[in-house]
Amino acid sequence: MLERLDRGIYRVKGVEITIGFEWEDLAFVTLSIPQGVICLISALCYYGMTDQIMREFWLAVPHSSKAPRRPNTRIIRMRNISLGQTKIRMGQLQLKIFDRERTVVDCFRYLSKEIAIKALQSYLRPTKQARPDLKKLMAYAKVLHVKLEPYLLSLTT
């Protein structure tokens, strides 16, 4: 009745999931980790805020929990995991992901400055789907102890 996709990842045989091909594996891995939240490069790719290729899936878990092992997955243990957490729909699945502001702030915490600055530049460009919310961005930066002011000043002046 069940089909094993990978270690810890199963699905019911014959059930069709209507998710875009590029997101299917990410959705299954995220569902296999109940406390997992899509973050960093995976979130940037979902929001279209990077030119990075998602070579592995990036998931955050609470700092107090043990990081499970999944193939092609990078697990990041984070504090304040509820801050900026939102839910998205992929087909009939509902997945947890950090919002755009939390993703940008986390880029400065965990990734290279180059990737973080490009993510911030992309965030500051308004699109039809989303506009930058600088108050929210700065509130997250304050809570997570990230100094974004110099980068914002250089990009907005």
Domain ranges in the chain?
2-156
pLDDT for residue 134 is more than 80: yes
- pLDDT for the residue numbered 115: 95
Q: pLDDT category, 93, cuts 50, 70, 90?
A: confident
> What's the pTM?
0.85
- pLDDT for the residue numbered 18: 55
Measured torsion, CA atoms of residues 96, 97, 102, 108, in degrees rounded to the nearest 10: 130
Angle 131-52-45 (CA atoms, 0-180°, nearest 5)? 45
pLDDT digits over 53-84, tens only?
889 999 999 999 988 888 889 999 999 999 99
